[in-house]
Amino acid sequence: MTDLLEPRAIGQGLVRRDGELKVRGTATYAVETPVENPAYCHPVQATVARGRVTAMDTAAATALDGVLAVLTPFDAERLASTEDAEYAVLQSDEVAFRGQLIGVVIAETSEVARQAADSVRVTYDEQEHDAELAVDHPGLYKPEKVNAGHETDTAEGDVAAAMATPQRDGGVTLERTYSTAMYHNNPLEPHATTALWDADAQFLTLWDSTQGVHPDRAAVCEVFGLEQEQVRVVCPYVGGGFGSKGTPHANVMLAVMAARALPGRPVKLALTRQQMFFLAGYRTPTIQQMQLAADRRGRLQAIAIDVVEQTSRIKEFAEQTGVPARMMYASPNRRSTHRLAALDVPVPSWMRAPGECPGMFGPEVAMDELAEELGLDPVELRVRNEPEVDPETGKPWSSRNLVRCLREGAERFGWAERPRGRREGDWLVGYGVASSVYPTMRQATSTANLRYADGRYVAEIGAADLGTGAWTILPQITADALGVDVGDVDVRIGDTQYPTASVAGGSSGTNTWGSALVVAARAFRDKFGGSPDDGDEISGDVDQAAKDDAHAPYAFGAQFVEARVNADTGEIRVPRLLGVFGVGRVINPRTARSQLIGGMTMGLSMALHENSVWDPRIGQVANHDLAEYHITVNADVGEIEAVWLDEHDPYVNAMGSKGIGEIGITGTAAAVVNAVHAATGVRVRDLPVTLDKVLPGLP
Percent of the chain with pLDDT over 90: 96
Of the candidates 249, 279, 309, which is a domain's last residue? 279
Q: Please answer whether residues 322 and 283 qualify as being in contact, where contact means their C-beta atoms are separated by less than 8 angstroms.
A: no
Amino acid, res. 515: S
The per-residue pLDDT for 168 is: 64
- On whether both 365 and 295 belong to a single domain, the answer is yes
Query: What average pLDDT does the segment 339-360 reach?
Result: 98
Give the count of domains, the chain: 3
The per-residue pLDDT for 165 is: 81
| Parent domain of 482 | 19-28+443-544
- On whether both 159 and 295 belong to a single domain, the answer is yes
CATH number at residue 479: 3.30.365.10
133 domain-assigned: no
pLDDT at 2 over 80: no
How far, CA to CA in Å, does 260 sit from each of 106, 253, 600?
A: 11, 11, 43
- On whether both 457 and 499 belong to a single domain, the answer is yes
Chain mean pLDDT for the chain = 97
- On whether both 351 and 487 belong to a single domain, the answer is no
The per-residue pLDDT for 166 is: 65
- On whether both 437 and 447 belong to a single domain, the answer is no
User: How many other CB atoms are there within 10 angstroms of residue 373's CB atom?
Assistant: 16
The per-residue pLDDT for 699 is: 83
Percent of the chain with pLDDT over 70: 99
CA nearest to 380, candidates 388, 389, 372: 372
- On whether both 437 and 525 belong to a single domain, the answer is no
Cα dihedral 344, 347, 350, 352, rounded to 10, equals -60
- On whether both 373 and 513 belong to a single domain, the answer is no
567 domain-assigned: yes
CA nearest to 223, candidates 276, 265, 260: 260
- On whether both 329 and 463 belong to a single domain, the answer is no
> Considering only 56-70, 81-95, 435-449, 534-548, which range has the smallest mean pLDDT?
534-548
7 domain-assigned: no
The per-residue pLDDT for 223 is: 98
165 domain-assigned: yes
Query: What average pLDDT does the segment 577-603 reach?
Result: 98
Q: Tens of pLDDT along 41-59?
A: 999 999 999 999 999 999 9
Q: Tens of pLDDT along 602-640?
A: 999 999 999 999 999 999 999 999 999 999 998 888 999
Q: Please answer whether residues 379 and 298 qualify as being in contact, where contact means their C-beta atoms are separated by less than 8 angstroms.
A: no
- On whether both 537 and 677 belong to a single domain, the answer is no
The per-residue pLDDT for 635 is: 87
Q: Tens of pLDDT along 264-294?
A: 999 999 999 999 999 999 999 999 999 999 9
> Considering only 232-246, 393-407, 626-640, 656-670, which range has the smallest mean pLDDT?
626-640
Is 662 annotated in the active site?
Answer: yes
CB contact burial 556-591 (16+ within 10 A = b; e otherwise): bbbbbbbbbbbbeebebbbebbbbbbbbbbbbbebb
> Considering only 118-122, 136-140, 312-316, 544-548, which range has the smallest mean pLDDT?
544-548
Binned at pLDDT 50, 70 and 90, residue 38 comes out as: very high
- On whether both 261 and 237 belong to a single domain, the answer is yes
Of the candidates 544, 572, 598, which is a domain's last residue? 544
14 domain-assigned: no
134 domain-assigned: no
75 domain-assigned: yes
pLDDT at 376 over 90: yes
Cα four-point dihedral sign 79, 80, 85, 87? negative
Binned at pLDDT 50, 70 and 90, residue 543 comes out as: confident
Q: Tens of pLDDT along 147-196?
A: 999 999 999 999 999 999 866 677 899 999 999 999 999 999 999 999 99
- On whether both 665 and 691 belong to a single domain, the answer is yes
319, 610, 647, 662: the active-site residue: 662
10 domain-assigned: no
The per-residue pLDDT for 4 is: 87
Peptide bond into 688 cis (omega under 30): yes
User: How many other CB atoms are there within 10 angstroms of residue 78's CB atom?
Assistant: 7
- On whether both 124 and 223 belong to a single domain, the answer is yes
How far, CA to CA in Å, does 556 sit from each of 99, 203, 599, 674?
A: 39, 46, 14, 19
DSSP code for 465 = -
Of the candidates 509, 544, 579, which is a domain's last residue? 544
CA nearest to 624, candidates 338, 373, 309, 276: 276
- Distance in angstroms (rounded) separating the CA atoms of residues 472 and 584: 18
CA 234 to chain centre: 22
